[in-house]
Structure 1
Amino acid sequence: MRWYALLRPGDWLILALTAAAAGLLWNHGSGGDRVLIKQDGRVFLDTTPRLDREVAVSGPLGETVVEIRAGRVRVKSDPGPHQVCVKQGWLMPGQVAICLPNRVSVERGVVIYDSLNY
Structure 2
Amino acid sequence: MNLLKLVKPGDWLVLLAGMLSVVWLFNSIWQSGSGNRVIVRSGGKIIAETSLFQEQTIHVNGPLGTSIIAIQNHRARIASDPSPRQYCVKQGWLSRSGESAICLPNQVSLEITGAKKLYDSLTY
Structures share a fold, TM > 0.5?
A: yes
Q: TM-score, normalised to structure 1's length?
A: 0.66
Q: What CA RMSD, in Å, does the superposition of the two structures yield over aligned residues?
A: 1.7
- State how far apart, in whole Å, the 1-side matches of 2:84 and 2:46 are: 24
Q: In the alignment, what sits opposite 1:5?
A: none
* Letter matched to residue 63 of structure 2: P
Q: In the alignment, what sits opposite 1:106?
A: 110
Matched pairs, number: 83
* Letter matched to residue 42 of structure 1: K
- State how far apart, in whole Å, the 1-side matches of 2:67 and 2:115 are: 25
* Greater relative contact order, per chain length (Cα 8 Å cut-off, separation 6+): 2
Query: Secondary structure at the residue paired with 1:56?
Result: strand
- State how far apart, in whole Å, the 1-side matches of 2:52 and 2:88 are: 18
Unaligned runs of 5+ in 2: 1-32, 117-124
Query: Secondary structure at the residue paired with 2:41?
Result: strand
Greater percentage in helix: 1
Q: In the alignment, what sits opposite 1:92?
A: 95
Alignment of 1:67-82 (within 5 A): 67-82=70-85
Q: In the alignment, what sits opposite 1:59?
A: 62
Alignment of 1:31-46 (within 5 A): 33-46=36-49
**Identity percentage of aligned residues:** 42
Question: 1:73/1:42 Cα in 2 relative to 1: closer, same or farther (>3 Å)?
Answer: same
Unaligned runs of 5+ in 1: 1-29, 113-118
4+ residue runs of structure 1 moved beyond 3 angstroms?
none
Q: TM-score, normalised to structure 2's length?
A: 0.63
